[in-house]
Amino acid sequence: MKKMCCEVLEVMAEGLGIVEKNALSKAIGGEKSDSCFRLNHYPAAATREAAEEKMLVGFGEHTDPQIISVLRSNNTSGLQICLSDGSWVSIPPDPSSFFISVGDSLQVMTNGRFKSVKHRVLAESKKSRVSMIYFGGAALSEKIAPLKSLMSKDEESLYKEFTWLEYKNAAYKSRLSDNRLSLFEK
């Protein structure tokens, strides 16, 4: 999973025109990276009507604080992303594909060129949902800031520099749905 994340980040760096191939991936490629793998199980809703009526939340709305997240799930719906107008869209399940999500840290590293996506999981199916997520995080002491190689001369950073540990601590002290990046905006 780490190797795949690094390859995706290297393609993203290339797409941004960054000369240094590993400018984004080196943050998660090292032995001290604070990456983790999580398995989630969302029990089935008793009935579809019950799920629709109660909008049973399996995991509330949030953005991932890490650099990148890679998710794979069984053939069960539930994952939704929030569009810029505030509406929610279901992501069709595909057990043979990976869903890759930009995290808050990558949003900062790209100075907002890539945005972390707000998402949630609803228990909206009569079948239980299982998902596996790899969260690619930097080393705890890694400084997170917009890449200088990405910034033009007159472009200003949208974010204050922070370490991954500082951001992680701030994220865990906030509510899941909070905009945690607002604490580090300039």
Output the DSSP codes for 30-90.
STTB--EEEEEEEPPPS-HHHHHHHT-EEEEEE---SSEEEEEE-S---EEEE-TTS-EEE
Q: Which listed residue (72, 113, 120, 129) is catalytic?
A: 129
Q: Does some domain include residue 10?
A: no
- How many domains, the chain? 1
Q: Which amino acid is at 45?
A: A
Is residue 53 in a domain?
A: yes
Report the pLDDT value the prediction gives residue 125, as an integer from 0 to 100.
66
Higher pLDDT residue, 111 or 174? 111
Answer yes or no: is 47 within a domain: yes
Query: Which of 101, 44, 117, 51 is CA-nearest to residue 76?
Result: 44
Q: Which domain CATH number covers 170?
A: 2.60.120.330
In a domain, 136, yes or no: yes
Q: pLDDT > 70: what percent of the chain? A: 92
Does the annotation count 113 as an active-site position? no
- Model pTM greater than 0.85? yes
Q: Residue 141: pLDDT band by 50, 70, 90 thresholds?
A: very high
Q: Which domain holds residue 168?
A: 32-179
Residue 6 lies in a domain: no
CB 109 within 8 Å of CB 24: yes
Specify the range with the lowest mean pLDDT, choosing from 40-44, 101-105, 179-183: 40-44
Q: Does the residue 21 lie in any domain?
A: no
Does residue 27 form part of some domain? no
Confidence of residue 43 (pLDDT cuts 50, 70, 90): confident
